[in-house]
Chain A
Amino acid sequence: MKKTLMQSSHSQRIGALVLLALLLFAVLEALFHQGSSVKQNLSLYLTPPNWDAWFGTDQYGRSMLARMGSAIRLSFTLSFICVLTSATLGTLLGVLAASHGGWVDRSLGFLVNTLLALPGLVLILLFAAIAPGSFLVLYLAISLVLWVEYYRVVRAVTLTVVTGPQLQSSMLLGFGRVYLFRRHIWPAVKPSVLTLAAFGAANSILALASIGFVYVGLKPPVAELGLMVVELLPYYSEAPWVIAQPLAAIFLLVLGFNLLAGKSS
C-alpha cells in the first residue's frame, strides 16, 4: 500500500476515521466488556441506557452493548472476507481473460453476463433460501455477486496493458507471469481495485443487513444488524433509542466505506 495519508483526500480521512472508531468499539467491547449477546433477562425489558448497561437492553433484556459489538464484528468480518475473495477472484480472472483471450475470455464473458442478468440481491436471497442461517453460504453468495465488477474493470484495464509496449518489453526480456503482473498489471489496476474494494465492503454490509431484515439471513439469536432492526421494529415508539443503534451502525459503516472509496485529491 503505497498510498500514504498525505495523498488521501479530506473525505477519505473522515471515512477512515469513522471506520476506525467502529472497529475500535467492536474490538474493545470484545476485550473488556465481554458481555453475552444472547443471555436473556426478562426483568430488564427495554431498559434505557444507564451506568450498568451503557446502551440499554432489548425486549429480552439482552445487553445492547454486547449485541452491537458482536453485530459490528460480524459485519466487518463478513465484508473483509467477501472483499478479499471477490477482489482476488475478479482480478485473477480479469487478468486471465485479458491476457489469454480466445475461448477463456468468451466463456468468462458468458458467465459474467449471466450473473449480471440476475439482480445481485435476488441471487443472494436465492442462496440464503437454499441454506437458511448459514454464514458460509451467505459469504459465498455475496462474493459471487461482487467479483463481477472487479472482473470487468480489471479485464478492461489489463487489455490496454497487454497490448502496450510496456508489458511486451518485459516479456521479451524473459520475465515470467508473476513479474509481469506485479510490475505492469497490478500498478495499472490497483487504484480501481482499491476503490471497488471499498464500495464492495459497503455493499456486502448492506446485503447482509438487507437479507437479515427480510428474515432469510442469519437466524436469531445471532446479533446481526439487519436482523436486529426487524426484531426491534415493533418497539420503535416505545424505545426509539434501541432501534436507532443498529440503524446508526449500518449508516456509519456504509458511509465510512463510501467516503473511503472517494477519489483522492
Chain B
Amino acid sequence: MNQAIQIKELSIQIKDLSIQVKDLRIHAGEVVIVDSLSMTLKPRMPLTILGETGSGKSLLAQAIMGLLPDGLSVTGSIRLGNQELLQMDRKTLQRLWGRSITMLPQEPWHSLDPVMKARQQVAEVHEVVHGVDSASAGAAADKQLQQMGLSAAGQKIPTQLSGGMAQRLAFAAATAAGASIVIADEPTKGLDYRRRDDIVRLLQQRLEQGSVLTITHDIEVARQLGGDMIVMRKGQVVERGKASDILANPKSDYAKQLIAAAPTQWKPLPAKRKGCDSDRILSAEKISISRGGAELFKDLSLTLNRGEILGITGDSGAGKSTLGDLLLGLTRPDAGQIRYSHKIPRHQMLKLYQDPPAAFAPNVKLGTLLKELVRLHKLDESRIPPLLERLQLDPGLLQRTSDNVSGGELQRIALLRALLPNPVILFADEPTSRLDPITTQSITELLAEVAREYHCALLLVSHDPVLVDKVCDGVISL
C-alpha cells in the first residue's frame, strides 16, 4: 500500500514533465539509421512524426522506451524531466513503463489475452502495477470501461468483441496504469478509416492528461491530431513545424510528395466505358457464407465484367478475402451460386497478396520463377521486357531473389507475374496496405491502368473507402 502511494506521488510529479530528445543518433555498425534527431514532447501538445516505412521512426519509439534491439548503438540524449533515459538501467526504466510512459501496441487486438474477460484485463493492471486490492481494482476498471463506452462488454472475452471494441479495450489496458506520456507507433496500421478515427479520438482524449507522441505514415491521422509535426525520411528530419502549416503548405519535396500521395488528393481514374453483356465473366446470386460459426455475409449478389474494377471494402474479418476465394472458385458458398459465362482456366484467375515477399518462393531468382511460369504455359517470353518497362521495373531486379527487392518493386513483379498468363479475374487482396503512401499511389494507379489494358476484371480489396472510390467502377461494402 505504502509503495502504491509513493508511486502515485511520483506519477503526479512527472505528470507535467516533457521528453526532450537531443541529437539522437541510432546506428547499426556503419549504417546510420536515425541521424541527429532533436525534438521536445510537451504536455498537452501532440507531436506527430510522419514518414514512410523504414525511415527509422519506430526505432525512436523503441529508444525512448529503452527497447532498442541488440546490435544497435545509440548516442545523444533522451531526457524525461531531469532524468536521462538512455543511461537508466533496465529496472528503473521498467518502473516508468505504464506509470509514466506507455506505448500503444500496434494492431491492438493482437495484444489482448484471448481467454481473459475484458474487465479483468484492465483490472489486472491496477492490481499488479498499483498494488491495490482486487475490489478497488475492479471498481477502477469499471470506471475506465464506462468512459470508453465498454460497460456492457466487461464480461466478454476479446473474440466476442467487435474490432473497434477490442481496440478500445487494448487502449484502456495500455493506459490503465496512468501513464502521462503515450507513445503510439503506427496505431492505425491496417485499420479501416472508421476505426482509425476512433483511435485518433482516443489519443486526443489522452492529451488532457499528458502528452502524446504519434508515429505514423497516414497523413489523415497527422491532420486530425494537429499540434507539432516532424517529417522524416531515411532517418533524417526533412521538415518540422506546425502540422496544419506543413500539411497546407509543405516546403520540402518529400513532404509535398507524401501529402500528394494521400488518396484524398488523387485524381479519379476515368470510368469504364459502358460494357456489353458479352463482357460478362460471372454473376453471383444470393451467396452466403459463414466461417467458424459466424456468418460473414448473406444474400450477396454481384456481376463481374471484363475490364471492370470492383472495389471491396469492409472491416477486418468481414469476409473480404473469403469473397475473393469464392469468386476465384477456391471455396464454395453455403447458399446461392456463382455462374461463370464460360469456363475460365485455373491459371487465369489470379491473386495479388497483401505481403509481397510472402507470395514468392524464397532463395530463387525472380527471373527463374518467371521463366518457369513461361515454360509451364508455353507463354511468349519476349513479353517480359516490355512489361517490365510498362511497370517501371529495372530488368536487373530479375537477377535478385525476392528478399532482396523492396516491397513496392516486388508487388509490381507480382503484378507482372499475374499479367503474363493473361488473367481474366485478378483479385488484389489489400495489395498496398504494407506499403508507404507514395508507393501505394503508384501501384494502385498502375494496377487499375493495366487491368483496363488487359481487359481483365480487377477486384480491389482495401480498407480505405477513399482509395476505392477514386479507382473503382463499383464498390461492395461488407
Cβ of B358 under 8 Å from chain A: yes
Q: Which of A168-176, A198-206, A240-248 lies at the interface with chain B?
A: A168-176
Given A173-B373, A173-B421, also A166-B346 (CB < 8 A): no
A246 to B436, CA, bound (A): 65
The distance in angstroms between the C-alpha atoms of A254 and B347, with both chains bound, is 50
Question: How many positions in chain A have a CB within 8 Å of any CB in the partner chain?
Answer: 15
Count residues of B near A (Cβ-Cβ below 8 Å). 25
> Inside 8 A of B369's CB, which chain A residues have their CB?
183
Q: A174 and B376: CB pair below 8 A?
A: yes
CB distance from A55 to the nearest CB of B (A): 46
Chain A 14-25: CB-based contact to B (< 8 A → 1; otherwise 0): 000000000000
B28 within 8 Å of A (CB atoms): no
B residues in contact with A173, CB < 8 Å: 347, 350, 373, 376, 417, 421
Our pick among B350, B354, B358 for the contact of A166 (Cβ within 8 Å) is: B358
What is the count of residue pairs linking A and B with beta-carbon distances less than 8 angstroms? 50
Contacting residues of chain A (143-185) with chain B, CB-CB under 8 angstroms? 164-166, 168-170, 172-175, 179, 183-184
Q: Are A187 and B350 in contact (CB under 8 A)?
A: no
| Interface residue SS majority, chain A | helix
A165/B359 in contact, CB under 8 A: yes
Pick from A2, A169, A174, A183: contact of B359, CB under 8 Å: A169
In whole angstroms, how far apart are the Cα atoms of A174 and B417 in the complex? 12
Chain B positions within 8 Å of A166 at CB level: 358-361
Contacts of A174 in B (CB 8 A): 345-347, 376-377, 421
Q: Are A169 and B373 in contact (CB under 8 A)?
A: no
Which chain B positions have C-beta within 8 A of A172?
328, 346-347, 349-351
The winner among A2, A173, A174 for most chain B CB atoms within 10 A is: A173
Q: Is the CB of B358 within 8 A of A164?
A: yes
User: Are A169 and B353 in contact, CB atoms less than 8 angstroms apart?
Assistant: yes
Q: Shortest Cβ distance from B235 into chain A, in angstroms?
A: 30
- Nearest chain A residue, comparing its CB with the CB of B349: A172
Q: Which residue of A lies closest to B414 (CB)?
A: A169
B16 contacts the other chain (Cβ, under 8 Å)? no
CA distance A166 to B363 in the complex (A): 13
User: When the two chains form their complex, are residues A170 and B361 in contact, meaning their CB atoms are under 8 A apart?
Assistant: yes
The 8 nearest A-B residue pairs measured at CB: A174-B347, A183-B361, A165-B353, A169-B359, A165-B359, A165-B358, A173-B347, A172-B350
Q: Contacts A169-B350, A172-B347, A175-B373 known; list 12 others, CB within 8 Å.
A: A166-B359, A169-B359, A170-B361, A172-B349, A172-B350, A172-B351, A173-B421, A174-B421, A179-B372, A179-B376, A184-B361, A187-B362
